[in-house]
Every structure is written in C-alpha cells, then in structure tokens.
Structure 1
Amino acid sequence: MSTIEKQIDVDVPAEVAWDCLHSVESYPQFVDGVREARPEGKRKAHLDLETGARVREVDTEITDRAKGGEKGNVMLWHTAKGESADLKGAFTVRAIDDQHTQVQVRVEYDPERTREAFGGPRGFAQSDAIQELVQHDLEQFKDLVEGKH
C-alpha cells in the first residue's frame, strides 16, 4: 500500500468544513472525476466516477470519529468490499481558531490495483499524478467551502 497525505488551511470555522465533507452531493464540485455522488443510508455513498472514456460506479463506506479539540474530527472512508480498486483514507478537520481550519486528507491505495481499475501511468509517475490530484481536490475544496461561507 502507498500513502499520500496532504493538508490545506481554509478560512471557515471547523463546523463549516466538516459539514461540507459530509455533504456527499457536493463531491462533484471538488473531487476531480466524480460525476455524481449520493448518500445511501447513513454510512454509505455511491459515486459515479469518470475515468478516461468510461464511467465506473464505486460504493464507499464512511465512519466518523469525532474527537474535537486539538485532535479535530476524523472521517474515515474506504471503498466497499469487492471493488477492484481498494482505496481507503481519512479527512481530518482541526480548528486553528474560530474562523480558520486545517483540513488534512490521507489516501491509502495499492498502486497496481488502482492502475488496473482506473488506468494511467505506473510507478512514480502514478504516485505523482495521484498526489497532484489530491492537492488539486483540496484546493477545489477550499474554493468551495470558502465560497459557501
């Protein structure tokens, strides 16, 4: 498994960032490749992903670990069992002060299974591409959440 961690500071209260992360329907606005997203029950989400010329459907499971304080709140997620790409990760939301928040994302993936499921380059090129994608998604999240506030 490979792991990517990125973070960004946003100029909104922690509750605003936390609520946006839990608004599954907003994922297409900040996660590249997500065409449509919808909640399925309290802890699941269904995503339609555009990967090149094809559309893939992916189901995810979400678990919250609200800690509060300096440790922040953590939203864990992973693709459902049986998905060809075994992905998992976490969003951590930490209040810097009343109006500023740090959002950290961690993504764990198997490079070969991810490449088989979604295509793209191999090795370091794939890792670089995924890191750039995660950073870009964080920047889009910042634009979205700061625009909503």
Structure 2
Amino acid sequence: MSKVEESVEVEVPVCAVYDQWTRFETFPHFMDGVERIEQHTDTLTHWVTEIGGVRREFDAVVTEQIPDERIAWTTVEGEARQAGVVTFHRLDECRTKVMLQMDFAPEGLAEQVGDKAGFVKRKVTGDLKRFKSFIEGRGGQETGAWRGAV
C-alpha cells in the first residue's frame, strides 16, 4: 500500500466546507479523472473514474462521519483498493484547513511507476486546490449538505 497526505486552507467556514464535501456527486467539478459518483445510500457510493486512460468503477463505503470534523471511507467492491479520511480543522470563523490522508494499492507496472514518480500526490494536491477554488468561487456557499453521523 502507498500513502498520500495533503492539505489546503480554504477561506470558508468549517461548516460550509464540510457540508460541500458531503455532496459526493459534485466531486467531478474539482476531482480530475472522476467522471461520476452515484450515492446509493447514506454510506454507499459508486464511482466511475478515468485516470491516465484507465477506466475504473468501484463502490466505496463511508465508515465514519462526524459533522464538521471527519469523513472516512474504504472501497468495498470494484477495481480500486483504497481507504482514507478527510478532516476539517477550524482555523478561525472564516478559514478551514482540509486534510486528506489516503492509502491506496497501485495496480500494474504503470500505476506503480506513476506512484513512485509522485503522480498520485500531485493529483491529490491539484484536486484540493480545485476544491478550494470551487467552494471559494461560490462565495463559501455549499451546494447542499448531509449532517448525519456514521
């Protein structure tokens, strides 16, 4: 397994940042290579991705969700193996630090080489920067929310 840890500071209150992150279907707006996410239940999502010409479909389950604090997940079915957690840290009334930690299993030679070359780390960094632009560009207004706990 490989690991990646990245963070970004967002000029938006923690509750709005967290609320936006619970809107999984909006991830294609800021996550490069994510084509579609369907939310089947409060905890089960189906992902369709295409990264580096490799198309994958998999299911992920939210294993822990604490409003305004953290969301943890793991893949349960499909072609990708990963698990992670995103945490939300209130810096002040209008600023939040988003920290993403992810473990993943690169498959095949191309993915292993890409991992060693830092491709996944750069992709996660880019996704977090695009998330920052997405939420700040909306004036800090989330597109919706799910405030339940898991």
TM range, smaller chain: 0.7 to 0.9
State the Cα RMSD in Å. 1.8
**Alignment partner, residue 109 of structure 1:** 104
Instruction: Give the alignment's TM-score, normalised by structure 1.
Output: 0.84
Distance 2:112 2:55 in 1: 21
Report 1:41-60 matches (<5 A). Answer: 41-60=41-60
Aligned equivalents of 1:65, 1:53: Cα separation in 2: 32
Q: What pairs up with 1:36-115 in 2 under 5 angstroms?
A: 36-66=36-66, 73-80=69-76, 82-110=77-105, 114-115=106-107
Q: Is the 8 A contact 2:57 2:78 kept in 1?
A: no
The number of aligned residues is 138
TM-score normalised over the length of structure 2: 0.83
Q: Percent identity?
A: 25
Deviation string for 1:24-83 (max 9, x for gaps)?
110101111111112111101111111344532111101334276xxxx11001111x43
2:137 to 102, 123, 147: 147
Match of 2:146 in 1: none
Which has a greater percent of helix?
1
Q: Report the Cα offset of residue 3 of structure 1.
A: 1.3
- Which runs of 5 or more structure 2 residues have no equivalent in the other structure? 141-150
Structure 2 residue matching 1:122: 3-state secondary structure: helix
Unaligned runs of at least 5 residues, structure 1: none
Report what 1:136 is aligned to.
126
